[in-house]
A and B are shown apart, each in its own frame.
Chain A
Amino acid sequence: MGDSWIGKRVPKRDAAAKTTGTIIYGHDLRRPGMLHGKILRSPFPFAKIIRINTERAAAVPGVKAILTGEDVPDTRIGLGRDNPILNRHVVRRVGDEVAAVAATSMDAALEAISLIDVTYEPLPAILDASEALKAEALLIHDTRTSNLHDKRSYVHGDPDAALLEADVVVEDTFLIPYVAPTPMEPSVVIAEFDADGELTVYTTNQAPYLMQYELGQAVEMPPGRIRIKQTAIGGAFGRGLDVYPFEAVAVLLAQATRQPVRIAYDRQEEFLAAPLRQPVKVTIKTGALKDGTLWVRDARALLDIGAYASLGTVIPVVMAQVVGSLYRVPHARYEADLVYTNNPVTGAMRGFGGPQATLFVEAQMDRLAVALGMDPLSFRLQNANRPDETTPQGLKISTCGLKECLEMVGSMRDKHKEPSPPGKRRGIGFAATLNVGGGARMHRSDGSGVIVKVDDFGQVTITTGSTEIGQGTDVVLSQIVAETLGVSISAVRFVNGDTGVAPWDVGAHASRTTFVAGNAALQAAEEARRQILETAAELLKVDTGELVMRDGSVYVRGRPELGLPLDKIMRARHFRKDGQIVQAQGWYDPPNEQVGSDMVGNLSATYSFGAQAIEVEVDTETGQVKVLRVRTANDVGRVINPMLVEGQLEGGIHMGLGYALSETLFVEGGQVQNNSFREYGIFTAFDMPPIEIQNLETHDPLGPFGAKGVGEIGVAPVAPAVLNAIYDAVGIRLNRIPARPEMVLDALETLQSNDRTSR
């Protein structure tokens, strides 16, 4: 057997196109006759629309269509089906869609938008979730009886009794802020009708088959007449999981003009209109027995979902999973009130509730250990999840290397710790993570379809419904198929991103693509292999059991002189009486469960685990926190491509460090005030510490070649590990992020003045 493709550092299939600038992103795409669309957005968080006058705008040369709420279907778009395409009577957030223009140039579209006169009557905006729940609060959606969108609750064991039984209980309230996914490519869509009235939508959406249906509902078209084509996508991180008004607006402008219409956000519009990571206010108690047994968690969260119900409303499922199943905890409760306000809409962002919940759960693990007089790492090790165990929540954990991962990162403390320079104090903090690693049944189907075609020239084409957002689906599926068929990677072509051609897939979320689409690809490749070997066996007059596929040929085992190249086999199979081609399909829907309103059930077919140790240096004069190094150890099953796994972890850690220390959205009056990268503050290369990655390779029985999902496990443990490291360094406990200098310095002062008074 030649070299295996599994475990190899194979470059992404699109790497050459991306490094030479030849790949076509949504922002690059131009269609013949294409018009430029632009949306007029509300400057008010809450207001009645009294009157819209488009006369001046219509007179701008080049304007082809202007739409207001009166011109579009009175439907609702988005996960909660509560967001009008263009608002007729009321706007509920800054940035709400009010009118739209299509014009022959961007200049004309901008000019026209600036000339639409809207008269608003501002209403008292509700900018705080607690205020929204008061009886006298105005209803943000008058079709509802309250601003409470939903209440979710999860429980196992008897938390009330357990809190009394526990020898030590810690309680904190955490305020976890908005952050923005900010993929480097802002949102974009192009809608185009063909002569037969079929609609093609070019999009950066990351769940195209769900988009097909949702968009159909919104614009009142049969989804079967809609074809979603993904362009190359310049990052997503969850932004592209829901369907938004601007996408329906583009379709309706295209319908009105019978010309293709493009709507492309710039960065400011991206900060204004794209969904943000769900902020959380949570009060949590964690209790333990004095022998160090973690005993109970009890969390109560208030979630300000913003003006419309997007994917922010689904994160309680993941938060409950962290509260209920990260470490072995016999009693747990998680309750959340989800509340409408006139604030920005919250959506999905890498980790999907995991970063928020891991922050408060792991910060409390540290505090509890200290309260018990235990070492934080030993306390974690004692309570770590174990393999082949079903948690009280119903998570069927099969492979689990959490204990080993904690030990791996724990050794960072053993290394000689350099003394802190004057005015600086260093410390190390730990945190772990549990994440879905075998899909996540958020939808009735968690499936993925793949077609593997082998042509007359021995070239293999993978056609998949799965979505490529940079994570490397292209090369992972190629490796799986090349491995199974014994061909070179270069003999495999990767095709995705067209709902009109590729089989269904629920989308790129929940770290699922390698596991789910990978299994479908494996299945399809195995079926193709069976068909190829069937023909080869006939040609070579041997049993299929004696055949091996490698180096693009089929050989008889032990007799390398008896081999046939793949293309010959394919032609022999095809060009004969009753000839056949090879086009095999794989469909994989993992054995996981859609959890009910109780949030109990085995959401994923397997789970990934990780642990991180982070060393920081706190400047005690300024409160600045510098990250010196990060070590991460992860159980991600078998590693199919180390380069990609490392890339997911490094990128997740980068996002987590920004979350912990720098990324800040100042949302005032319902509006993001700092709509630029310079003011938002994602980490630059100059801010990033060295990252040491150790992977513990388990072999998952259900994963393709033993692999589990890795996309989100880098991010969640970062912020709590940083907070725990800050404590280790200077003894302060922060209940908020980002740990900006002033907050750190204030906490240091409070600590010092408390020390003085207690002396």
Chain B
Amino acid sequence: MSNHPITLTVNKSPYSLSVAAHHTLLDVLRDDLGLTGTNEGCRMGDCGACTVHLNQLRVPSCLVLAVNADGADVQTIEGLAGETTGEHHPLQEAFINRGALQCGFCTPGMIMSAAAILDEIPERPLSEAAIREALAGNLCRCTGYAKIIEAILEVANG
């Protein structure tokens, strides 16, 4: 087993860590940094529950070796509200008020994806079809996505 020193900026805080080569960014966020808002749903990049922003791009953190992320800027669900003046990010607000969650396990990844989509697709009004396609990497077993789409539309288009 090999260990490697890395630095990460996570939610604007700098970290110097020693990580095992085979531990993923997901493992390090959850186990070393205690940021358990990023959830582990499959470890195969299929479900999107572990979606974080890595250097401003949304990625499944289960498919990134922590050592490979050395020097990266990472944003997780815990850091999203810090982007805004309110207690919650507008997406969080909309998810709460529209009932866009049930068990909630997919929710942090879903919101991180949604936040990225708002940047990725500049067109406004943002179409429902575009959101649906852009959310294909985030699985939800509870909601049928209907209220999730409503919440994102609300934030995108006001």
Whether the complex brings A and B within 8 Å at their CB atoms is answered: yes
B156 close to A (CB within 8 Å):
no
Q: Which residues of B contact A233 (CB under 8 A)?
A: 103
Q: Which residues of A contact B103 (CB under 8 A)?
A: 183-185, 233-236, 469-470
Q: Which B-chain residue is minimally distant from A233 (CB atoms)?
A: B103
Inter-chain CA distance A560–B149, complex, in Å, is: 44
User: Looking at the complex, which one of A15, A184, A676 makes contact with B44 (CB distance below 8 Å)?
Assistant: A676
Nearest CB in chain B: distance from A612 CB, A: 13
B71 close to A (CB within 8 Å):
no
A686-B132 in contact (CB<8A): yes
User: Looking at the complex, which one of A21, A22, A237 makes contact with B141 (CB distance below 8 Å)?
Assistant: A237
B88-A107 in contact (CB<8A): no
- A185-B41, A685-B149 in contact; A644/B99 too (CB < 8 A)? yes
Q: Which residues of A contact B147 (CB under 8 A)?
A: 643, 646-647, 650
Nearest CB in chain A: distance from B22 CB, A: 8
A655-B78 in contact (CB<8A): no
Nearest CB in chain A: distance from B53 CB, A: 13
Q: Which residues of B contact A18 (CB under 8 A)?
A: 101, 104, 107
Q: Which residues of A contact B148 (CB under 8 A)?
A: 685
B1-A182 in contact (CB<8A): no
Q: Mark B32-68, 1 if CB is under 8 A from A, else 0.
A: 0001111111111011010000000000000000000
Residue from B81, B92, B103 whose CB has the most chain A CB atoms within 10 Å: B103
Q: Which residues of B contact A134 (CB under 8 A)?
A: none
B39-A184 in contact (CB<8A): yes
B36-A20 in contact (CB<8A): no
Nearest CB in chain A: distance from B2 CB, A: 12
Q: Mark A295-310, 1 if CB is under 8 A from B, else 0.
A: 0000000000000000
Which chain B residues numbered 92 to 110 have a C-beta less than 8 Å away from chain A? 92, 95-99, 101-108
Inter-chain CA distance A651–B141, complex, in Å, is: 7
Q: Which residues of B contact A267 (CB under 8 A)?
A: 41-44, 46-47
B46-A677 in contact (CB<8A): yes
User: Looking at the complex, which one of B43, B91, B102, B139 makes contact with A684 (CB distance below 8 Å)?
Assistant: B139
Q: Which A-chain residue is minimally distant from B46 (CB atoms)?
A: A677
Q: Which B-chain residue is minimally distant from A655 (CB atoms)?
A: B141
B37-A471 in contact (CB<8A): no
B102-A470 in contact (CB<8A): yes
User: Looking at the complex, which one of A27, A28, A184 makes contact with B47 (CB distance below 8 Å)?
Assistant: A184
- A646-B146, A650-B147, A678-B44 in contact; A21/B98 too (CB < 8 A)? no
Inter-chain CA distance A15–B97, complex, in Å, is: 9
B131 close to A (CB within 8 Å):
yes
A266 close to B (CB within 8 Å):
yes
Q: Which residues of A contact B46 (CB under 8 A)?
A: 267, 676-678
- A21-B76, A23-B104, A691-B144 in contact; A185/B88 too (CB < 8 A)? no
Inter-chain CA distance A198–B81, complex, in Å, is: 41
B28 close to A (CB within 8 Å):
no
A647-B107 in contact (CB<8A): no
A677-B42 in contact (CB<8A): yes
Q: Which B-chain residue is minimally distant from A182 (CB atoms)?
A: B141
B121 close to A (CB within 8 Å):
no
B74 close to A (CB within 8 Å):
no
Inter-chain CA distance A643–B102, complex, in Å, is: 11
Range of interface residues on A (Cβ < 8 Å): 35 or more
Q: Mark B13-37, 1 if CB is under 8 A from A, else 0.
A: 0000000101000000010000111
B102-A651 in contact (CB<8A): yes
Q: Which A-chain residue is minimally distant from B47 (CB atoms)?
A: A677
Inter-chain CA distance A236–B104, complex, in Å, is: 12
- A184-B105, A184-B139, A237-B141 in contact; A20/B99 too (CB < 8 A)? no
Q: Which residues of B contact A691 (CB under 8 A)?
A: 144, 146
- A20-B81, A24-B36, A27-B40 in contact; A685/B96 too (CB < 8 A)? no
Inter-chain CA distance A348–B85, complex, in Å, is: 45
Q: Which residues of A contact B49 (CB under 8 A)?
A: 184
Which chain A residues numbered 661 to 689 have a C-beta less than 8 Å away from chain B? 676-678, 682, 684-686, 688
A11-B96 in contact (CB<8A): yes
Inter-chain CA distance A234–B139, complex, in Å, is: 13
Nearest CB in chain A: distance from B61 CB, A: 13
Nearest CB in chain A: distance from B103 CB, A: 3
Q: Which residues of B contact A688 (CB under 8 A)?
A: 132, 144-146
Q: Which residues of B contact A677 (CB under 8 A)?
A: 42, 44, 46-47, 139
Q: Which residues of B contact A685 (CB under 8 A)?
A: 131-132, 135-136, 138, 140, 145, 148-149
Q: Which B-chain residue is minimally distant from A693 (CB atoms)?
A: B146
Q: Which residues of B contact A107 (CB under 8 A)?
A: 1, 20, 22
- A653-B144, A686-B133 in contact; A25/B88 too (CB < 8 A)? no
Inter-chain CA distance A650–B146, complex, in Å, is: 7
A539 close to B (CB within 8 Å):
no
B108-A21 in contact (CB<8A): yes
Nearest CB in chain B: distance from A36 CB, A: 11
Q: Which residues of A contact B92 (CB under 8 A)?
A: 16, 19-20
A12 close to B (CB within 8 Å):
yes
User: Looking at the complex, which one of B38, B99, B149 makes contact with A647 (CB distance below 8 Å)?
Assistant: B99
User: Looking at the complex, which one of A15, A21, A686 makes contact with B96 (CB distance below 8 Å)?
Assistant: A15
Q: Which A-chain residue is minimally distant from B146 (CB atoms)?
A: A650
- A20-B88, A235-B142 in contact; A470/B40 too (CB < 8 A)? no
B99-A12 in contact (CB<8A): yes
A647-B30 in contact (CB<8A): no
Q: Which A-chain residue is minimally distant from B149 (CB atoms)?
A: A685
A16-B102 in contact (CB<8A): no
Q: Which residues of B contact A22 (CB under 8 A)?
A: 37, 78
Which chain A residues numbered 42 to 84 have a C-beta less than 8 Å away from chain B? none
Q: Which residues of A contact B98 (CB under 8 A)?
A: 643
A509 close to B (CB within 8 Å):
no
Residue from A182, A183, A267 whose CB has the most chain B CB atoms within 10 Å: A267
B143-A651 in contact (CB<8A): yes
User: Looking at the complex, which one of A15, A185, A647, A684 makes contact with B143 (CB distance below 8 Å)?
Assistant: A647
B111 close to A (CB within 8 Å):
yes
B42-A15 in contact (CB<8A): no
A234-B96 in contact (CB<8A): no
A623 close to B (CB within 8 Å):
no
A186 close to B (CB within 8 Å):
yes
B153 close to A (CB within 8 Å):
no
B77 close to A (CB within 8 Å):
yes
Inter-chain CA distance A27–B148, complex, in Å, is: 24
Inter-chain CA distance A579–B80, complex, in Å, is: 49
Q: Which residues of A contact B101 (CB under 8 A)?
A: 12, 15, 18-19, 470
Nearest CB in chain A: distance from B48 CB, A: 9
- A15-B95, A685-B138 in contact; A186/B36 too (CB < 8 A)? no
- Other A-B contacts than A15-B95, A183-B103, A684-B132, 7 sampled, CB-CB below 8 A, are A15-B99, A19-B77, A182-B141, A650-B145, A654-B143, A677-B44, A688-B146
Complex A-B, nearest 5 residue pairs according to Cβ-Cβ distance, in ascending order: A21-B37, A18-B104, A470-B103, A234-B105, A650-B144
25 A-B residue contacts at CB 8 Å?
A19-B111, A20-B37, A20-B80, A21-B38, A21-B78, A27-B39, A184-B41, A184-B106, A184-B141, A184-B142, A185-B103, A232-B104, A235-B105, A266-B40, A267-B46, A646-B147, A647-B99, A653-B144, A676-B42, A677-B139, A678-B44, A684-B138, A685-B135, A686-B133, A688-B144
